[in-house]
Structure 1
Amino acid sequence: MHVQDRHGRPVMSLRLSITGRCNVNCIYCHKDGMTSSRGELSAADIEKLCRVASDLGVGKIRLSGGEPLIRDDIVEIVERINNIGFRDISITTNGTLLEGYSTALSEAGLDRVNVSFDTLNPETYRFITRKDYLERVKSGISSAVDVGLDPVKINMVILRGVNHHEVWDMFEFCREKGAVLQIIELLKTESCHDDAVERYHCDITPIEAELAERADQIRTRKFMQDRKKYYIDGGEIEVVRPMDNTRFCANCTRLRVTPDGKLKPCLLRNDNLVDTRDALRENDTDLLRELFFEAIRRRSPYYTP
């Protein structure tokens, strides 16, 4: 049984940003909706939060950052979470370190991985990330597929004038690799400023219209912000439209955690956080449960449905 917020939305997943550190510097990064935070939770504290979440009916855990694979204890973190018994554990990564971790993460209990990868063009990749890791990321994707992480999803943020014309090239790459392409509308948050959104935001409506025209089948993911999945010639493309406010917010089933241990009820807000650090320090499970309920009580669609 899932706990519901005041708007009738079940809390089904917990997304933990386990570090604010990253080894790339993408031009559009919204830092998972986080403002700067001091410190990182230990693996033991992450486990404590996940155990409480499990007791409240949460079935899915996602680890993100920053870049979560930067943490030396990332395999231990996955092992600890896996021992709790969640039905789904996943990571969002930029893929630069994935090749070296795929086997260990799979053996530790990781189910699947999302790789942020916006282009197959080396010059465009350098422009977006300010790094030269493109081939390393491609190898990481292959490694994740080979060890059986399933699905491997490629997160492609669509940027006007940068990569908006590369969707079908990326789709072919994903289909050949056995990965799922996820195209994502650029999102404005406190960490992704107005100038970046104004410069690069792309209306993906025409892209989605073309997907609908070419699709063999279309499905809607009710408990994932009403996202559409398009099945085309044996491949899959999922569309994430966070600026479609009513659908995205009204169908949100996720609670978040900042790197320094604050429960975050909403991706787009940082004014209603619930601090768990004292409870973690005192190892007070009852208080942690109360804090989770408080964070769930504070959940509200950012835009009025």
Structure 2
Amino acid sequence: MTVKDNYDRPIISFRMSITNRCNVNCLYCHHDGMLPSSEEMTPDEIAKISEVAKTLGVKKIRISGGEPLIRKDIVEIIDKINKIGFKDISITTNGTYLAKYAEDLKDAGLNRVNVSLDTLNRDTYKFITHKDYLQSVKDGILKAVDVGLYPVKINMVLMKDINQDEVWEMFDFCREHGLILQIIELMESESCEDNNVFSKKYHYNINPIEEKLAKIADGVKVREFMQDRRKYYIGNGEIEIVKPMDNTRFCKNCSRLRLTPSGKIKPCLLRNDNLTDIIGPLRNGASDDELREIFLTGINKREPYYNDNR
């Protein structure tokens, strides 16, 4: 049985950030304080928390960071989660270590992967990430395809005067290699430098791109339970449009619960003031029933960030 929150929203997906360490420094990233690797959750702790989530009806697990593949025990983590029996296990990564780990991750039970890649231009990549890893990322993407991770999705954040003219080049790359392109509109965040100065400076309205897609697409699929997000099919290619989440539809259909790198249940992506610690009780010997109650406490804190009255 799937548990629902107080707004009748089922909890289907559990997104676990297993580290906030990262090996790139993207312009738009939310720069949270670094947690020492010695304080990160262990594979067994991650597995135990996942196991409890499964008893509450969670069907999908997504692993993220920071950069999750920076953890040398990432294959062990996926293997332990896979043995619990989830319907879907995925990872969001910057792709720099994907060529190294793709095959082992697939063998361990990983189903699919999202790769953050905003450009195919080396100089632009270095400007965005402050690193020169573009070729490693491309190699990792092709390796993921080769070993059978499917689908491989490319997350492309559009930024004005940086990469907004590269959409169709990226689409051609994705279509050539059987990838799905997700075009993401830059969203404002309190965590961005100088209180949203960056996001306001580089925000690019993707409506014209979506209007063009609507005209040239061979087919369109509306993902009703993903805020009516639209997926456009052009030949053998696929593009999905991801807009900022400041709307009531995003909250109405939200079925996700999150876990922070420090082991706290996070009921809402857009809030940090209602977290529930689970790693502390786990390390102090909490029983499975007690851990379930902690989960339920976190779930009961869920409320729509955006509603009709906001």
TM-score bracket, normalised by the shorter chain, equals over 0.9
1:146 aligned partner, one-letter code: D
Does the 8 Å contact 1:93/1:113 carry over to 2? yes
Within the alignment, does 1:164 sit opposite 2:164 as a pair? Answer: yes
Residue 284 of structure 1 aligns with which residue? 287
Q: What residue in structure 2 maps to residue 250 of structure 1?
A: 252
Moved more, 148-157 or 196-205: 196-205
* 8 A Cα contact 2:264 2:277, kept in partner: yes
Aligned to 2:221: 219
Q: 2:24 matched to which residue of 1?
A: 24
Q: Which amino acid aligns with 1:219?
A: K
Q: Structure 2 matches for 1:133-212, cutoff 5 A?
A: 133-193=133-193, 194-212=196-214
Q: Which position in structure 2 is the counterpart of 1:122?
A: 122
> What is the distance in 2 between the residues matched to 1:244 and 1:217?
27
Residue type of the partner of 1:274?
T
Give the alignment partner of residue 304 of structure 1, picking from 279, 301, 307: 307
Runs of 4+ aligned structure 1 residues displaced above 6 Å come to none
Alpha-carbon distance between aligned partners in 2 of 1:248 and 1:241, rounded to the nearest angstrom = 10
**C-alpha distance in structure 2 between counterparts of 1:69 and 1:36, whole Å:** 16
Residues 81-96 of structure 1: matches in 2 within 5 Å? 81-96=81-96
Cα deviation per residue 1:18-74 (whole Å; 9 max; x = unaligned)?
00000000000136xx66656311111100110011111110000000000000100
Conservation of the 8 A alpha-carbon contact between 1:224 and 1:251:
yes
**Letter of the 1:284 counterpart:** S
In the alignment, which of 260, 263, 284 is matched to residue 261 of structure 1? 263
**Residue 188 of structure 2 contacts residue 200 of structure 2 at CA under 8 Å; is this kept in 1?**
no
Q: Deviations over 1:158-198 (max 9, x none)?
A: 11111111111111100001110011111233422411111
Q: How many residues align?
A: 303
The 5 Å alignment of 1:16-95 reads: 16-30=16-30, 37=35, 39-95=39-95
What are structure 1's unaligned runs of at least 5 residues?
none
Moved more, 133-142 or 206-215: 206-215
Q: CA RMSD in A?
A: 1.4
For residues 118-166 of structure 1, the C-alpha deviation after alignment (integer angstroms, 9 at most, x for no partner) is: 0011111001000000011001000000000000000001111111111
Q: TM-score, normalised by structure 2?
A: 0.94
Query: Do 1:218 and 1:228's aligned partners in 2 also have CA atoms closer than 8 Å?
Result: yes
Q: What one-letter code is carried by the residue in structure 2 that aligns with 1:117?
A: L
CA distance in 2, matches of 1:254, 1:192: 24
Distance in 1 separating the partners of 2:189 and 2:300? 22
Kindly state the Cα deviation for residue 209 of structure 1 after the two structures are TM-superposed. Answer: 1.1
Cα deviations across residues 63-95 of structure 1 (Å, max 9, x unaligned)? Answer: 000000000100000000000000100000000
Deviation at 1:260, TM superposition (A): 1.1
Contact 2:252 2:304 in 1 (8 A): yes
Q: CA deviation at 1:217?
A: 1.1
Contact 2:21 2:34 in 1 (8 A): no
Contact kept? 1:17, 1:65, Cα under 8 Å: yes
Partner SS, residue 199 of structure 1: helix
- For 2:264, the aligned partner's letter is K
1:294 to 290, 297, 310: 297
Tell me the CA shift for residue 279 of structure 1: 2.1
Which amino acid is the alignment partner of residue 111 of structure 1?
A: N
Q: Is the Cα contact below 8 Å between 1:30 and 1:188 reproduced in 2?
A: no
Letter in 1 for 2:10: P
Residues 226-283 of structure 1: per-residue CA shift (max 9 Å, x gap): 3211111111111111244222222211100001100001111100000012221114
The range that moved more, 193-202 or 221-230, is 221-230
Cα distance 1:225–1:253, how it changes in 2: closer, same or farther (>3 A)? farther
Partner of 2:236: 234
Q: Secondary structure at the match of 2:114?
A: strand
The answer (yes or no) to whether the contact 2:229–2:241 under 8 Å persists in 1 is yes
Q: Give the alignment's TM-score, normalised by structure 1.
A: 0.96
